[in-house]
């Protein structure tokens, strides 16, 4: 799951950052130092601070991170606004160098990563990253996640909502005197409330007048059609239609449904907390709708594979019904989004496309492209019918559709002691019957800039070693075509024994002696090092 998250993170950041590169430059020039309204936390001060405040937003960042730099002035302005409004919400930040233990505890693998701590429980921030968006998000998240209703006439018909039907009252929920499943529902509501409203209908309510008023609405007709298909809900319908004042709901199970305007209801069929969590993560997202800068984190945090339909508004309107139908079938595996190619003119570059419209399907194992005018492994696919698109997904699953890999051009002169490999040549690196030492780096990484010369000099010292290949790979500009070659940070150094693809990760001193010890410990042969480089 983590690798899938990282893959989607890179694509989303690429899409939205390339589009706004000019704006980023302006931010760098105009940004002032963050005021004291953003509290600075470390491994040593974090726990005490969070325990003393009911509502805390914490940003994990790194000095070298371009996305952190673009967010910094917005985050500072949000903190200032909340301070001036005398809000209970406090904004804080943790620099990666001073928060190593915290980053491990909260699985921070990319920057910026932002969490919102509500009464000590962390929620990953998935809202807009401008000042107003941050302020609006924390204000909304500070409220109770579930609205308790006695009058069903207040349910919306023009917005996605999740509805639970239980015997619990608001006071029971606040005191946690509820079932484990409903407690999970209350907690999960905070994660997804930005794109769905959460309600609970009190099944102990006996005011027949409110129910009868609701029954006269169009919404009731939709509800009745749905309810009559479900044995437990049918009891409710029958009781209401008979105006049975003696109706008792003690045998009625807890029920959870999601309503999408124009799509009707989807009922939770599971019984466990884990199943409910997965149900809400998938079902609160639209089957197929536009993705943009303000909502992309919702999709990033869903845990689902992403199908990116890239094209114009006209393309979207032409094919949306097909993708909604496919989206329903693949609901708990994938979600579909439309990227407007007229707004985001870099999408062909970001997804390595040769034509538009096109579909880029991002999974945990890579990206796969459906381009109607470009054959894939000798086979063509189209968007024309539900069956056409579903066939593409079936072929991806069975492994007959090749991965799409971003790749630089291979250097014309690649005869140095360190062989430069790119996305398209990475697989070839393992065809030779030799050990491989692979450095994965990035141009922006300061640690890479310090370590790479040491690595290159060490390789030069051992350039006559016929049993070991020294290689480097720019992880920013290239993607891995080999499942075993992956990384979560820069630099990453991997050692592969000849004929094997299971790597050993380097964690020693970044010196020539540290490299020598690492290779020798894994059965390799290198020259002794007498002086650290």
**CA–CA gap between residue 449 and residue 336 (Å, rounded):** 39
Please give the share of the chain, as a percent, with pLDDT higher than 70. 81
Domain assignment present for 409: no
User: Regarding beta strands 504-505 and 468-474, do their DSSP bridges make them parallel or antiparallel, or are they unpaired?
Assistant: unpaired
Domain assignment present for 3: no
Domain assignment present for 39: yes
Handedness of CA 498, 499, 501, 502 (dihedral sign): negative
Mean per-residue pLDDT for 339-368? 92
Alpha helices in 31-161 (DSSP H): 46-52, 66-84, 100-105, 131-142
The larger pLDDT score, comparing residue 296 to residue 246, is at 296
Domain assignment present for 438: yes
**CA–CA gap between residue 181 and residue 253 (Å, rounded):** 11
* Lowest mean pLDDT segment, chosen from 166-170, 213-217, 307-311, 461-465: 213-217
User: Whole-number mean pLDDT of the chain?
Assistant: 83
For 92, phi then psi, to 5°, come to: -140, 170
- Mark which of 237, 254, 281 sits at the end of a domain: 281
- Mark which of 247, 281, 315 sits at the end of a domain: 281
pLDDT tens track for 465-485 = 889 999 999 999 999 989 889
pLDDT tens track for 114-130 = 999 988 778 888 788 89
Give yes or no for residue 30 having a pLDDT over 50.
no
Q: In what order do the strands lie in the sheet with 161-166?
A: 147-149, 197-202, 161-166, 255-260, 264-267
Domain assignment present for 404: no
Domain range spanning residue 167?
Answer: 147-281
Q: Reduced to 3 states, what is the DSSP secondary structure of residue 264?
A: strand
The count of other CB atoms within 10 Å of the CB of residue 83 is 16
CATH of the domain at 154: 3.40.30.10
What is residue 376's predicted lDDT score, i.e. its pLDDT? Answer: 78
* Lowest mean pLDDT segment, chosen from 86-100, 101-115, 519-533: 519-533
The larger pLDDT score, comparing residue 236 to residue 416, is at 416
Mean per-residue pLDDT for 321-334? 90
Note whether 269 and 327 are same-domain residues.
Answer: no
**CA–CA gap between residue 250 and residue 47 (Å, rounded):** 43
- Mark which of 142, 170, 205 sits at the end of a domain: 142
Which are the contacts of 481, defined by CB distance < 8 A and separation ≥ 6? 366, 403, 405, 423, 424, 426, 427
Note whether 96 and 183 are same-domain residues.
Answer: no
What is residue 513's predicted lDDT score, i.e. its pLDDT? Answer: 93
**CA–CA gap between residue 283 and residue 162 (Å, rounded):** 9
């Amino acid at each position: 799951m983590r690798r899938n998250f990282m893959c989607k993170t890179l694509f989303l950041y690429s899409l939205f950052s390339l589009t706004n590169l000019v704006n980023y430059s302006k931010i760098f020039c105009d940004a002032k130092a963050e005021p004291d309204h953003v509290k600075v936390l470390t491994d040593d001060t974090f726990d005490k601070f969070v325990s003393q405040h009911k509502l805390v937003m914490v940003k994990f960042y790194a000095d070298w991170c371009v996305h952190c730099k673009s967010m910094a002035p917005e985050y500072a302005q949000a903190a200032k606004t909340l301070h001036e409004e005398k809000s209970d919400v406090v904004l804080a930040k943790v620099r990666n160098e001073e928060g190593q233990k915290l980053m491990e505890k909260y699985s921070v693998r990319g920057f910026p990563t932002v969490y919102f701590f509500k009464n000590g429980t962390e929620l990953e921030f998935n809202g807009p990253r401008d000042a107003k968006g941050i302020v609006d998000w924390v204000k909304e998240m500070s409220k109770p996640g579930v609205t308790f209703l006695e009058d069903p006439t207040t349910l919306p018909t023009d917005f996605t909502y999740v509805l639970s039907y239980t015997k619990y009252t608001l006071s029971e929920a606040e005191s946690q005197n509820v079932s484990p499943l409903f407690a999970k529902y209350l907690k999960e509501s905070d994660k997804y409330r930005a794109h769905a409203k959460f309600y609970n209908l009190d099944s102990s309510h006996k005011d027949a007048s409110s129910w009868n008023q609701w029954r006269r609405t169009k919404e009731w007709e939709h509800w009745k059609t749905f309810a009559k298909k479900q044995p437990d809900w049918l009891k409710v319908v029958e009781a209401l239609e008979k105006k049975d004042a003696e109706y008792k709901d003690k045998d009625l199970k807890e029920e959870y449904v999601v309503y999408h305007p124009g799509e009707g209801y989807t009922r939770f069929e599971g019984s466990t907390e884990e199943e409910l969590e997965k149900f809400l993560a998938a079902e609160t997202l639209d089957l197929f709708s536009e993705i943009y800068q303000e909502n992309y984190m919702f999709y990033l945090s869903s845990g689902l594979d992403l199908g990116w339909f890239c094209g114009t508004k006209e393309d979207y309107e032409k094919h949306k019904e097909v993708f909604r139908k496919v989206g329903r079938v693949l609901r708990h595996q994938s979600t579909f989004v439309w990227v407007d190619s007229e707004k985001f003119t870099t999408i062909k570059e970001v997804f390595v496309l040769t034509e538009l419209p096109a579909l880029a399907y991002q999974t945990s194992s890579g990206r796969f492209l459906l381009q109607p005018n470009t054959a894939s492994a000798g086979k063509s696919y189209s968007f024309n019918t539900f069956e056409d698109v579903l066939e593409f997904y079936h072929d991806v699953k069975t492994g007959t559709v090749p991965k799409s890999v971003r790749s630089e051009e291979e250097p014309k002169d690649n005869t140095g002691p360190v062989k430069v490999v790119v996305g398209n040549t990475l697989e070839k690196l393992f065809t030779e019957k030799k050990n491989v030492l692979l450095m994965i780096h990035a141009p922006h990484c300061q640690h890479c800039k310090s370590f790479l010369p040491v690595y290159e000099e060490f390789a030069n010292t051992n350039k006559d070693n016929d049993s070991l290949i020294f290689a480097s790979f720019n992880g920013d500009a290239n993607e891995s075509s080999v499942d075993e070659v992956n990384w979560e940070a820069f630099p990453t150094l991997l050692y592969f024994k000849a004929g094997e693809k299971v790597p050993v990760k380097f964690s020693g001193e970044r010196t020539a002696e540290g490299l020598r010890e690492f290779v020798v410990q894994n059965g390799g042969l290198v020259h002794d090092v007498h002086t650290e480089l």
